[in-house]
Amino acid sequence: MLSLHTSPLEQPGTGDAGGMNVYISQTAAEMARRGVAVEVFTRATSSDQPPVVELVPGVQVRHVPAGPFEPLDREELPAQLCAFASGVLRTEAFHDPGHYDVIHSHYWLSGQVGWLARDRWGVPLVHTAHTLAKVKNAQLAEGDTPEPRSRVIGEEQVVAEADGLVANTAVEARELIGLYGADPAAVRTVAPGVDLARFTPGSKAAARAALGLPDDAVVLAFAGRIQPLKAPDVLLRGAAELLRGRPELAGRLVVLVVGGPSGTGRDQPRQLRELAVRLGIADRTRFLPPQAGPALAEVFRAADVVAVPSYSESFGLVALEAQACGTPVVAAEVGGLPVAVAHGTTGLLVPTHRADDWAAALGSLVTRPARLAELASNAVRHARRFSWRHTADALLDVYASVVTSFRSPRAEVAV
């Protein structure tokens, strides 16, 4: 597996670490349990990082020196593609021919390196985009920076060269085919999963006590990277509008924002806190740093509703994790979120990012305890339909298929 710009060892919720990190670490671990040896190549960001780290038995994370030993913004990473590719190819050169059977690249930067390795090693390339520039640019938040043309071109190249393309949802599959000209025969839809052992229902009272929240609080939570794309400001604006319409909630409402600055959000790291002040809800808003798995599950259990207001979302793992904990989700009706959230059954989908629409959706749940409890019960059953075990099984089927049909570019050149 190639994951140039972010490591599965990093804590999701800040910088470039997010759902992709969870996806890679969980699917790699599941494959290792089936006896598949997995090596994940990522860029070294510190001279203190050992060359190889065991994630779990059977999964090695290789830190490849490529550029300075420090985090780099994603727009700086294309300049390090040659150095990263060199490190990947040199590692394979120390093994006997045929050491690797399949390459799975994650995100377009890794796809560029995977395309080169595929041709050099004579093994098939499977690619997962996770996000697509053309989709993001069509759904930009106000004031956000569009993805550059260089990324669009890079994605088009990877889509054209990959032997297999994995989409999270049928919507993403149609985007790959319609926007990028992908061969429909090369596209397979594989839904991400959820860690059903970690994200489980639990005591709301205990979770609130651990976070110092009153038992009778009305708790709205956001978990993710603090950036315009993820739109935590939409939750704050919706919460402020909710209080204007229902002032009786003023003493009970708590908005939890869990995560750290990322992407263009790093340009103004205090912007969200300043927005809470301007909206008059600073005293009702709590900001927490990114939380590791067990602590994040406690945040979800403590909440009455988890909000996922993203402008673009290929799937929305947070929505699935929250539902697995028994918490309904209010999400934007974009990307893969209509798959992750069953509208009217496990939560609500909001077709806009307007504050009044979000206030209405949130208010329709937090003021109706019986309705909230019904959705919570449904949410757990819905989330249990997804698991990383099923995801890994489907990916292994994709690998087997591309191995069977693969024609080595090196063999064609030799002929």
Model pLDDT for residues 168-220, shown as the tens digit of each residue: 999 999 999 999 999 999 999 999 999 999 999 999 999 999 999 999 999 99
Q: Which CATH architecture is the domain 2-193+389-411 placed in? A: 3-Layer(aba) Sandwich (3.40)
pLDDT over threshold 50, residue 297: yes
Rounded to an integer, the average pLDDT of 98-116 is: 96
Each residue's pLDDT tens digit, 314-349:
888 999 999 999 999 999 999 889 999 999 999 999
pTM above 0.85, yes or no: yes
Do the beta carbons of residue 301 and residue 204 sit within 8 Å? yes
Q: Tell me the percentage of the chain whose pLDDT exceeds 70.
A: 94
**Which residue ranges make up the annotated binding site for 1D-myo-inositol 3-phosphate?**
5, 16-21, 74, 107, 131, 151
**pLDDT value of residue 414:** 46
- What's the distance, CA 58 to chain centroid? 24
Amino acid (1-letter code) at residue 104: H
Q: 132-136: long-range contacts (C-beta < 8 A, 24 or more apart)?
A: 132/172, 132/175, 132/176, 132/179, 132/180, 132/314, 133/108, 134/175, 134/179, 134/180, 135/175, 135/179, 135/312, 135/335, 136/229, 136/311, 136/312
The helix/strand count (H/E) of the chain reads as: 16, 13
**Which residue ranges make up the annotated binding site?**
5, 11-12, 16-21, 74, 107, 131, 151, 225, 230, 291, 300-301, 303, 313, 321, 327
**Which residue ranges make up the annotated binding site for UDP-N-acetyl-alpha-D-glucosamine?**
11-12, 19, 225, 230, 291, 313, 321
Q: Tell me the percentage of the chain whose pLDDT exceeds 90.
A: 79
Predicted confidence band at 260 (pLDDT cuts at 50, 70, 90)? Answer: confident
Six-digit token string for 133: 């520039």
Location of each CATH 3.40.50.2000 domain in the chain? 2-193+389-411, 204-386
Query: For the chain, what is the mean pLDDT?
Result: 92
Q: Which CATH architecture is the domain 204-386 placed in? A: 3-Layer(aba) Sandwich (3.40)
**Which residue ranges make up the annotated binding site for Mg(2+)?**
300-301, 303, 327
pLDDT over threshold 70, residue 15: no
